[in-house]
Chains A and B, each alone.
Chain A
Amino acid sequence: MPALRTAFLLAATSLIAFAQDSAPQKMKPVVVKGATIGGVTAPAAPALQLNGTALEAQPVATLGEVLADIPGVATSYFGPNAGRPIIRGLDGDRLKIAQNGTGTLDASSASPDHAVGIDPLAIREIQVFRGPAALLYSSSILGGVVNVVDNRIPVERLPRAFVLSGRAGSADALRSLAFLAEGGAGDFAFHLDGFTKTTENLSTPIGRIADTASESRGAGFGVSRVGPSGYLGLSFSGLNSTYGVTEPGIEIGLRQRRWDLAGQANAPAAALKSVNYKLGISDYEHTEFDGAAAGSTFTNQGWDARVDFELTKVGSLEGVVGVQSGRFDFAVTGDEAFLPTTRNANDAVFGSFIQSLATDSRLRFGFRLESAKVSAAAWNHEGLASNPAAASAAFTPASFALAWVKDLDAQWATTLSLTRTERAPNFQELFADGPHVGTESYEVGDRTLGKEQGWGMELELAKTRGAVSGSVSVYYNRFASFISLQENGFGPDLSGLPIPGPNFALGGADELARHDFTSIPADFFGAEARLNIQLQDTAAAKLALEFFGDTVRASNRDTSEALPRISPGRFGTALHGLQSGWAWRLDATYHLAQNHLAVGETPTAGYTLVGAAFSRDFVLGSATTARFSLRLTNLFDVEARNAASFIKDALPLPGRGVEAGLKLSF
């Protein structure tokens, strides 16, 4: 026994001796914080991010639907295949959608039936910017800016990953398959992704809707050289899609090819934390087929580039400044040629800053000065009475934003923001003149339009920590000049023309309602709220109760008439949790009736949508995991109509549906 003890002590002593010989010293912990809800911490941080599991739990039909659950966001829902997000009642060019920081360069803002040029299956993260940080991307920021990130250019060394995922749904007979491969060798990192997605005609409570099927394929490849001083990468991606837009026999065939170049230099000078540059070059085209015959073709060819300089903190001031420049040629040919060919140029200089005022308050401010020019070629259009000559219009919008953030205590913060926004009218608002199937109207632009101008004011109160968290915000956006499509009698009589067919007819005659792009004074006001009560929160079991709601009112200040296609208020509740490996969520959302209507607009009834979702991760091997997910939508098969949709009277929201997904990670 003593021998044992001696041996033990000896061993211990030698261990100690060894330890003292080369014992390491402990350095201070290095704490690296990643922002999932940014907004107030960095001058370029988004207010909201959707990625990972939360993004995968969303539908994959359109970008609008992916975001539509967020308070304040609606989708334009032109059938199941075309839907742009609408934030706080602001849509089209008023709500910038960026792809990796540069423009999407598609045709989605020109018409509600045009899909956004990036499919949800290729999206890895969606960022919503608000306030001063949004000025890094757009001068029109009262609704915010949506930036879609596809990860195609690696920005760092990547761990090896291979992911295969599939989905199948019942309401639209969705079948999708997607893969993702990432990895690296030495200083090089690569990314490869691809997907295929098909849907059949949509099933709704009023039956299957014809001409809503779709077929999409897309792929992207990117490679970067990553080093201690930054990275430089290149990517190429493509999207081919054919989709119905609920018009009998009409199908849109979309094709986009895009090159992206991006790089970053870390600390290239004492005054700079980093310099980040991006260039996107895109070739977009879509043809609207009427049966087998090609009808109109829309093309958009252009590029968009930006350089962001992240400044070294000076005192308590942090900032990002930069320049952005883009050109694109937009053309329509064929029988829906309601626009001349235009060249669009946009150059901007911008900045976003955070000045710390005290330990518990800070000021965020930003600016964006732009120079925008639209040049239209001479135009000889068959449906026009006259042939407009070449013309151009130039604008210099200037936008500013100021937000004061005050921490009331460790858990509560309040933000008061004031925004001045200006937007140059786009090619369509200036030069449109012709029949437009998407809006079922004869659209007429106004070459004398001035800038769209507005002021915005918002008060937000947020509780970010603790078992009870949430936020509530109230806003008032006042436009001195808001460019709106206003009904103005009927378009020219097209009956003598050979091309326009019965599809252009409204009310039987070969006449379409005429809509003019007009500048009106407009008011938008509304509120958004979200409340999450964490009832149980351990690693193995979670349970939370959530409440959310939003409301927006938009009207013409001169006439007190409502603006068209504004989503009514909604409020909902959800119970979600994690038990014995299963993550689940049950939710119910009540959408109010919309009776605040524009001239000629039809009301929508109130409705409640109930849904459920379940998912579970399985470990299949040492490095193989699987996630199974199941989503049930519109459980009670309610006939629901989206007030923000152009075709709400013809097409309700999808009926009861179940969607299953399986994701394998190797």
Chain B
Amino acid sequence: MSTDHSSSLHERVYAWSAALGTATLVVCVLGALAGPVQVPADDHHDHGPGAPVQYFTPPAQPPVETKPTIAAAVPAAVAVPVAVPVAVLPIVEPVAALPVTAMPALLPVTAVRSPVAPRAAVPPVADAAPALERFVPSLAGEFPDPPYPRWARQQGIQGRLLVLVDVAASGAVQSVAVRESSGQASLDQHAADWVRLHWSWAPGAPRRYLVPFVFELQ
């Protein structure tokens, strides 16, 4: 009996050593191979400092080196859409003097996006902090987040889209249009339907809003 016990003890010691050894090994390998620590993706979508959400059509933006008189630069930039950088890349820091309403994002996407503009020409994001000013501050109204649809989650469907909402004087949604598609018609439809059914603004003048949606799986 005592031999049984000691052999069992040996086995336990062996098993525990094996388990802890494996654990140590994995931790070491993980540690050795781990890349530099990065800010988690959560923080990227905080809409605060560091928010690089600029997948939708960027505002026409003169290169930083051009003349500082922004007001003059704007029409030129719009008139010559070829000069506009590629949409998906983060753009250079926005100019504070540029009124939000002057965003040329309303232009048809095809007109603004240009395959001619070389990606290399787009300067990297220097300081994203002023990105805050691109978005209107928090509005009065009801804007519940849509759920992640079960079918999309199960099929691994992700995407980013931009929705254009016409708001009536009452604050109710008048119409919703998808301005930039996620590439998945059903996901576009889900977001547009959600805004139509669940969102409402405070009463006021008729307005239009561009709402970016990001559906991402973790």
Q: Which residues of A contact B (CB under 8 A)?
A: 8-9, 11-13, 15-16, 18-20, 22-37, 41, 51-53, 124-125, 151, 155-159, 161, 182, 228, 409-411, 461, 463, 465-468, 470, 472, 474, 525-527, 529, 531, 533, 547, 549, 551, 553, 555, 560, 569, 596
Known: A16-B74, A24-B208. 17 other contacts (CB 8 A): A19-B104, A22-B106, A24-B103, A28-B136, A29-B47, A29-B211, A34-B153, A53-B156, A411-B38, A461-B23, A463-B34, A465-B40, A466-B35, A467-B33, A470-B26, A553-B11, A560-B8
- Chain A nearest Cβ from B205, distance in angstroms: 11
Nearest A residue to B164, CB-CB: A24
Across-interface contacts of B97 in A (CB, < 8 A): none
A472 touches B27 (CB 8 A): yes
- Chain A nearest Cβ from B23, distance in angstroms: 5
Chain B residues 99 to 126 lying within 8 A of chain A, measured CB to CB, are 100-107
B30 touches A9 (CB 8 A): no
- Chain B nearest Cβ from A239, distance in angstroms: 21
Nearest A residue to B193, CB-CB: A157
Across-interface contacts of A555 in B (CB, < 8 A): 8
Distance, CA A37 to CA B153, complexed state (A): 11
A27 touches B209 (CB 8 A): yes
Given contacts A410-B39, A468-B35, A551-B15, contact A27 B23 (CB under 8 A): no
B38 touches A531 (CB 8 A): no
A34 touches B217 (CB 8 A): yes
Given contacts A24-B209, A32-B213, contact A411 B37 (CB under 8 A): yes
Distance, CA A124 to CA B74, complexed state (A): 52
A526 touches B19 (CB 8 A): yes
Across-interface contacts of B135 in A (CB, < 8 A): 26-29
Across-interface contacts of B40 in A (CB, < 8 A): 410-411, 465
- Which secondary structure dominates chain A's binding surface? mixed
Contacts A/B (CB < 8 Å), 18 sampled: A8-B79, A13-B75, A23-B102, A24-B208, A26-B136, A32-B148, A33-B217, A34-B216, A36-B218, A53-B155, A151-B154, A157-B193, A470-B26, A527-B23, A531-B30, A549-B22, A560-B4, A596-B11
A15 touches B78 (CB 8 A): yes
A30 touches B37 (CB 8 A): no
- Chain B nearest Cβ from A173, distance in angstroms: 30
Residue from the list A36, A465, A466 in contact with B153, Cβ < 8 A: A36
| Interface band, chain B | 35 or more
- Chain A nearest Cβ from B58, distance in angstroms: 11
Given contacts A32-B213, A157-B190, contact A529 B101 (CB under 8 A): no
Distance, CA A202 to CA B138, complexed state (A): 64
Chain B 8-39 interface 0/1 with A at a Cβ cutoff of 8 Å (1 = within): 10011001101110110011011001110111
Distance, CA A18 to CA B75, complexed state (A): 13
Across-interface contacts of B12 in A (CB, < 8 A): 525, 553
Nearest B residue to A471, CB-CB: B26
A228 touches B197 (CB 8 A): yes
A474 touches B210 (CB 8 A): no
B146 touches A32 (CB 8 A): yes
Distance, CA A569 to CA B164, complexed state (A): 56
3 smallest CB-CB distances across A and B, nearest first, come from A159-B186, A34-B148, A24-B208
B79 touches A25 (CB 8 A): no
A19 touches B214 (CB 8 A): no
Across-interface contacts of A124 in B (CB, < 8 A): 154
Distance, CA A29 to CA B151, complexed state (A): 22
Chain B residues 172 to 197 lying within 8 A of chain A, measured CB to CB, are 185-186, 189-190, 193, 197
